[in-house]
Structure formats: structure tokens, C-alpha cells
Amino acid sequence: MISIRITSAALAALAVALSACSPKGGESASRAPPAASTPSSVPAAAAPAGEQASGPEIPADQVPAVKGGLWEVTDTGSGAAPRTDRNCESGQRKPLSMGKECSRLSLHRTLSGGFVVDADCSSGAMTYGFHLVASGDFTSRYTVDSVSRFRKAPGDPEEVQASHQEGRYVGACPATMTPED
């Protein structure tokens, strides 16, 4: 199964999710399966808890960067055991791009200052997409909820996976770690 990897920091999560429109493997992020139809077709019951988009679309440079340093991130979802990782982040905004496989990508602010990302993508007969809601101050904590949908080919069953991540700033990166970005 192909999956969209959501990294340890909220912005890293967004950057990876957006670049995941071209599915790639990687050891430094956690992966959620891609989606099948449009994220707007994700039933309300399957959508992550949290705010929905409340305003007009925003450019990628308005997505906040997480504070540089060591982040502890706990990832739970779709019945998997919780997984906690520690990641060193530079504090620099990661470049965001929508792969040529993605026909729709939208970024919106929430009322609390977080953001919502929706994408629809395809590669050959495979279709996938996601709905991601991120919130927090991005300097001491953040939360990312996502729903990913994936279908290998027309007529195949659709796979749906939900993920919940909570990130907490720990402090400076140890000398043995370098920023992932």
C-alpha cells in the first residue's frame, strides 16, 4: 500500500503531505495511506476532529514554520500502537509544492490560526488524497489530524486511514542530531 508520510513537525507534516502527491518512501517521517476520491468527499464522520477551513485560500508562505530545535512527536491512528519519535528541526519553512500528479491542492486558515490542507491526486489508475488540519502555536506545541484515502484502481475497495499527531518542543537539538530539513 502506498502511503503519505507526515513528518514530526506540523510544517514538515504539511510539506511532506504536499510532496506526497508524488508518493515516495522515506525513513524520517510516518506514513499514512494515500486517498482515493476527493477529500471533499470524505464523510463528516471520517474527517479529523478540529476546525474546518474558515477563510479564503492562503499562499504556502503563510503556513507557519515550527521553532528550530528538538521536537517529540507522538503519532496515533487507524488502530496502530502509538509511536513517539524525536526529530531535530531547523526552524526554516520547508518548500511546498504540489506534484504534477495532484489536480487540486488548497490551503486555508482556521479561526484559531491553524490551517487546513486538502489534496486530490492520481498516478495512472491509482487515486489518492487527504484532508489535514493543523493547529497550535508551532513554537511549543502543535496537533495534526489527517484522513488519507487511497484506491489502487477503479473498482478496487477504497482504503481510508486517520492519523493524529501531537508535537511538543523539547529544547535545543543534541550535538549528535542535525536538522531533518
Looking at residue 30, its pLDDT comes to: 29
Query: Between 155 and 101, whose confidence is greater?
Result: 155
Residue at 48 is within a domain: no
Residue at 143 is within a domain: yes
Residue at 178 is within a domain: no
Give per-residue pLDDT as tens, 11-52: 344 443 343 333 333 323 322 323 333 333 333 333 444 455
Looking at residue 111, its pLDDT comes to: 83
- How many C-alpha atoms does 150 have within 13 Å on its Cβ side? 17
Residue at 54 is within a domain: no
Looking at residue 97, its pLDDT comes to: 65
Residue at 129 is within a domain: yes
Residue at 79 is within a domain: yes
Residue numbers of the domain that contains 76: 4-42+65-171
User: Residues with Cβ < 8 Å from 134, sequence gap 6 or more?
Assistant: 10, 13, 14, 114, 115, 116, 117, 142, 143, 144
Confidence class for position 162, pLDDT limits 50, 70, 90: very high
Give per-residue pLDDT as tens, 76-113: 987 789 999 999 999 998 776 667 788 888 889 888 88
66/82 Cα distance (integer angstroms): 22
Helix (H) or strand (E) holding 32: strand 30-32
Residue at 140 is within a domain: yes
Query: Between 51 and 147, whose confidence is greater?
Result: 147
Looking at residue 98, its pLDDT comes to: 64
Do the Cβ atoms of 165 and 84 come closer than 8 Å? no
Residue at 19 is within a domain: yes
pLDDT at 71 exceeding the cut of 60: yes
Give per-residue pLDDT as tens, 131-144: 999 999 999 999 99
Nearest to 28 by CA among 19, 37, 36: 19
Task: Report how many domains make up the chain.
Answer: 1
